[in-house]
């Protein structure tokens, strides 16, 4: 059994389920930083990320009795935070670029993927997060779900109620905008 601080995870979960404030605070403090970083990837600013984080922790505490000790507890919490971000964007209307399914989108495995890797490796994580936060909500969400969370375009389409083509289009446009933003930073340094 793993532990959080000096408390084993099972005892922490039981304490939270029974409403013991000290265990809830311990869980919150333990995962605040990592989950805040997850939330920051899906929104434009830290205030909005804090709102997502708070909503996410409320859901964690509400669903804690459903945790079955299979897999990573941190991974379980992370999944709730990501799903909360997805729910947040489902509520937003008309944020996704719609495309005709027949439009050809460059495959994400084309030549630009190698260029992106090379470009992205030149920046610190904070710079990349800042660039991602400048993307439109649609591009930012699809980019994070595909690149960071490892969702397929079909999974993204199902989660966000969009077409696979729209998911691919938003990812391609997100990469193009990130590339432009990061190249602009490089050019200002030179």
Dump pLDDT digits (tens) for 105-162: 444 444 444 555 566 667 777 788 888 888 998 899 999 999 989 999 999 999 898 9
Q: Range of 70's domain?
A: 3-91
**Is 82 in a helix, a strand, or coil?**
helix
Distance CA 126, CA 136 (A): 18
Interval 14-71: pLDDT, tens: 999 999 999 999 999 999 999 999 999 888 888 999 999 999 999 999 999 999 888 8
Residues 83 and 129 in one domain: no
Distance CA 32, CA 29 (A): 5
Burial 137-154 (b: 16+ CB within 10 A, else e): ebbbbbbbbbbebebebe
Number of domains in the chain: 2
CATH number at residue 145: 1.10.10.10
Domain-ending residue, one of 58, 91, 124:
91
* Residue whose tokens read 């729209």: 166
């Amino acid at each position: 059994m793993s532990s959080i601080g000096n408390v084993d995870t099972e005892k922490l979960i039981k304490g939270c389920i029974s409403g013991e404030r000290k265990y809830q605070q311990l869980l919150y403090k333990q995962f605040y930083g990592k989950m805040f970083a997850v939330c920051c990837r899906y929104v434009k600013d830290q205030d909005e990320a804090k709102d997502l984080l708070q909503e996410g922790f409320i859901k964690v505490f509400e669903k804690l009795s459903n945790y079955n000790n299979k897999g990573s507890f941190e991974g379980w919490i992370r999944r709730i935070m990501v799903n909360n971000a997805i729910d947040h964007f489902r509520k937003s209307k008309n944020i996704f670029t719609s495309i005709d399914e027949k439009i050809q989108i460059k495959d994400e495995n084309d030549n630009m993927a190698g260029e992106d890797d090379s470009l992205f490796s030149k920046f610190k994580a904070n710079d990349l997060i800042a660039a991602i936060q400048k993307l439109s909500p649609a591009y930012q969400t699809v980019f994070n779900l595909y690149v960071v969370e490892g969702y397929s375009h079909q999974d993204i389409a199902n989660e966000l109620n969009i077409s696979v083509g729209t998911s691919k289009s938003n990812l391609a446009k997100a990469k193009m905008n990130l590339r432009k933003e990061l190249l602009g930073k490089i050019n200002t340094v030179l």
